[in-house]
Amino acid sequence: MKVIVREDGGPLVSVRVVFRAGSAMDPAGREGAAWLAGQMLAHGGTRRRSYQQILDFLFPRGAAVDVSVDKEMTCFRMDCHADHAEQMADLLAEMLCDPGWREEDFLRLREDAVHFLEADLRGENDEELGREALYGLVFEGHPYGHPCAGRVSALRGMGLEDVRAFATAEYSRENVWIACGGAQAGCVAQRLREAMAALPAKARNNGETPSAARLRNHRMIFVEKPAEGVAVSIGFPIEVVRGHEDYPALLTAVSALGQHRSSGGRLFESLRQRRGLNYGDYAYIEYFPAPMFLLEPEPNHARRRQIFELWIRPVAPEHAHFAVRLALAEVERLVEEGLTEEEFEAARSFLSRHFVLLEEGLSARLGHEIDGLYYGTGLQSDHLRERLPVLTREEVRRAAERHLRPQAMAFAFAGQGMEDLRRRIVDEAPSPVEYNAPKPESILREDERVSRRLLGAREAETRVVPAQEMFE
């Protein structure tokens, strides 16, 4: 157990309780156990109070208890006003350490999880569908190979006892970190620390996650569903996580390629700004939860295994092939040429100064401190401010060359007409583009080159899957 306390005189209280356990620890055939365990604690009753009684308690206080379940972490969050610090600390302690395990809560939350996969993911968010399909492809046969919410068939087959068994095995004194901030943070932390004494000493998982198998060739999944545009995600596993010696260099390279929701990255400039192919294009070396809804990364989704990820927002079906070719050309250029001096300086300056902003809020700060503990690097802002000033442009180029392998990647497409797109990609068909306005000669020349670029996909490593069969 580790406890972080950041007391201040403000009117708010914020708590994060993180167990180093998540969907990567789901037993085989019980994919979704971690998800449901988190949901049962945060959105179910305790032994003393029904969930309805908890809602009635929270309501006049405007307070909330919520949970996020990721691959390696389950984070419970509580935010309330200082007026209710003690009462809310008691409630949170009760919810986490003395859950009710009621069948009616379980059935409700299990059905919600199934609907999350069947309706939300397959049906309502093509971009997240594409991303999850990509993770499934990269991590096939690996503990990260299923969505954090599990699989539909496993969820349907799961009983309350499976979920309870997961919580008993994985939520332990050894793997819990408690972070409390704001008014009366010390008292709140003390109350939680006392309650956590009732947890088992050790967790079942040993804190190890195998590496993902290295990709030998391109691998592609085409998820067929009715849609106006085609969502595209591309990626491959990397060894670099925070704390790795190449992390600052690779982060700098990838920030210049496509910093999340920034208009300054190469991908954005090339695909959207110059050509209007879509709404935006970004690159990552760390998992970014729900990027379509968030401008900043939510902490406590730390993972031992990460992928390099390109996120190409929906493109017109007739431009999907070209957009992928163009994005890969940008990755290749990065690997071959590195950054210009100006790009290097700008990206380094951005990273040196940006993380301070992300860590400003009470809750965010606690979350980032926990991630710093997890990776052993301390706060990301401090870590980067220490490492970036001594970074060189050559180190960035070498890191990109060492870790980015555009010749063997996983591709996930979600949209309509997938068989046709697959055919065109496998056949290396030309993919010319037409614009609604005159373009400079330099762009037309580049287009000509890019539209004939060979991807090298082997038919045997591509497959079309109807959306309704995903995550089954």
Partner 1 sequence: MAQREAFPWLYEQHDFENGLRLVTVPLPWRGVASVYIVVHAGSRNEVEPGRSGFAHFFEHMMFRGTRAFPPERYERALQRMGAASNAYTDDDRTVYHTTLAAEDLDALLGMEADRFQNLEYSEEDFRTEALAVLGEYWKDSAEPLNRLFEVLRDTAFDVHPYKHTTMGFLRDIERMPEMYDYSLEFFDRYYRPENTTILICGDVIPETARAMVERHWGGWKRGRWRLEMPQEPPQRGLREARIEWETHTLPYVAVAQKAPAYDDGSAECAALDLISALSFSHGSELYRRLVIEEQWADDLWANTVDHVDPYLFTVVARVKQPARTGDVRRAIEEELERIAAEPPGEERLEKVKSHLRYRFVLGMDRSEAVAAALSPFLGLRRTPATVNRLFATMEAVTPDQVAEAARAWFGPEKRTVVTLEEKAG
Q: Could you say which residues in the range 185-224 bind partner 1, by CB under 8 A?
A: none
Q: Applying CB under 8 A, does 14 fall inside the site for partner 1?
A: yes
CB of 288 to partner 1, least distance (A): 14
Our CB check for partner 1 shows the closer of 118 and 239 to be 118
Q: Which residues within the stretch 55-74 sit at the binding site for partner 1 (CB under 8 A)?
A: 55-56, 58-64
CB of 321 to partner 1, least distance (A): 16
Q: Applying CB under 8 A, does 432 fall inside the site for partner 1?
A: no
At 31, the amino acid letter reads E
Our CB check for partner 1 shows the closer of 157 and 435 to be 435
Residue with tokens 């790009």: 343
- Rounded to an integer, what distance in angstroms lies between the CA atom of residue 50 and that of residue 95? 11
DSSP 364-376: HHHHHHHHHHHHT
CB of 336 to partner 1, least distance (A): 22
Q: Applying CB under 8 A, does 262 fall inside the site for partner 1?
A: yes
Q: CB under 8 Å to 278, separation ≥6 — which residues?
A: 229, 271, 272, 312, 313, 314, 315, 319, 323
* Burial class of residue 416, CB neighbours in 10 A (0-12, 13-18, 19+): middle
Contact pick of 81, 156, 164, 333 for partner 1 (by CB under 8 A): 81
- Rounded to an integer, what distance in angstroms lies between the CA atom of residue 273 and that of residue 405? 26
* Burial class of residue 201, CB neighbours in 10 A (0-12, 13-18, 19+): exposed
Choose the binding region for partner 1 from 186-194, 290-298, 333-341, 399-407 (rule: CB under 8 A): 290-298
Choose the binding region for partner 1 from 168-176, 308-316, 331-339, 445-453 (rule: CB under 8 A): 308-316
- Rounded to an integer, what distance in angstroms lies between the CA atom of residue 10 and that of residue 18? 23
Q: Which residues within the stretch 372-431 sit at the binding site for partner 1 (CB under 8 A)?
A: none
CB of 244 to partner 1, least distance (A): 23
Contact pick of 71, 219, 272, 403 for partner 1 (by CB under 8 A): 272
Q: CB under 8 Å to 157, separation ≥6 — which residues?
A: 29
CB of 356 to partner 1, least distance (A): 7
CB of 255 to partner 1, least distance (A): 9
- Rounded to an integer, what distance in angstroms lies between the CA atom of residue 73 and that of residue 92? 18
Our CB check for partner 1 shows the closer of 45 and 237 to be 45
Contact pick of 66, 174, 296, 459 for partner 1 (by CB under 8 A): 296
Sign of CA dihedral 400, 213, 219, 243: negative
Which tokens belong to 2? 């580790």
Choose the binding region for partner 1 from 155-163, 172-180, 420-428, 436-444 (rule: CB under 8 A): 436-444
- Rounded to an integer, what distance in angstroms lies between the CA atom of residue 428 and that of residue 102? 56
Q: Which residues within the stretch 135-164 sit at the binding site for partner 1 (CB under 8 A)?
A: none
CB of 334 to partner 1, least distance (A): 17
Choose the binding region for partner 1 from 23-31, 67-75, 77-85, 147-155 (rule: CB under 8 A): 77-85
- Rounded to an integer, what distance in angstroms lies between the CA atom of residue 462 and that of residue 221? 6
Contact pick of 28, 295, 390, 454 for partner 1 (by CB under 8 A): 295
CB of 122 to partner 1, least distance (A): 6
Our CB check for partner 1 shows the closer of 210 and 466 to be 466
Local structure of 57: helix, strand or coil:
helix
Our CB check for partner 1 shows the closer of 165 and 443 to be 443
Our CB check for partner 1 shows the closer of 273 and 407 to be 273
Q: Give whole-number Cα distances, 74 to 126, 131, 332, in Å.
A: 25, 20, 36
- Rounded to an integer, what distance in angstroms lies between the CA atom of residue 19 and that of residue 75? 6
Which neighbouring-strand residues pair with 312? 232, 281
Contact pick of 251, 347, 409, 450 for partner 1 (by CB under 8 A): 347
Our CB check for partner 1 shows the closer of 17 and 176 to be 17
Count, residues near partner 1 per rule CB under 8 A:
85
Q: Quick one: angle between helices 393-403 and 320-337, nearest 10?
A: 130
Contact pick of 310, 315, 370, 388 for partner 1 (by CB under 8 A): 315
Contact pick of 99, 229, 258, 367 for partner 1 (by CB under 8 A): 229
DSSP label at residue 84:
G
Sign of CA dihedral 252, 258, 260, 263: positive
Where helices occur in 297-392 by DSSP H, the ranges are 320-337, 341-358, 362-375, 380-387
| Site pattern 104..123 for partner 1 (x: CB under 8 A) | ----x--xx--x--xx--xx
| Site pattern 350..379 for partner 1 (x: CB under 8 A) | xxxxxxxxx-xxxxx---------------
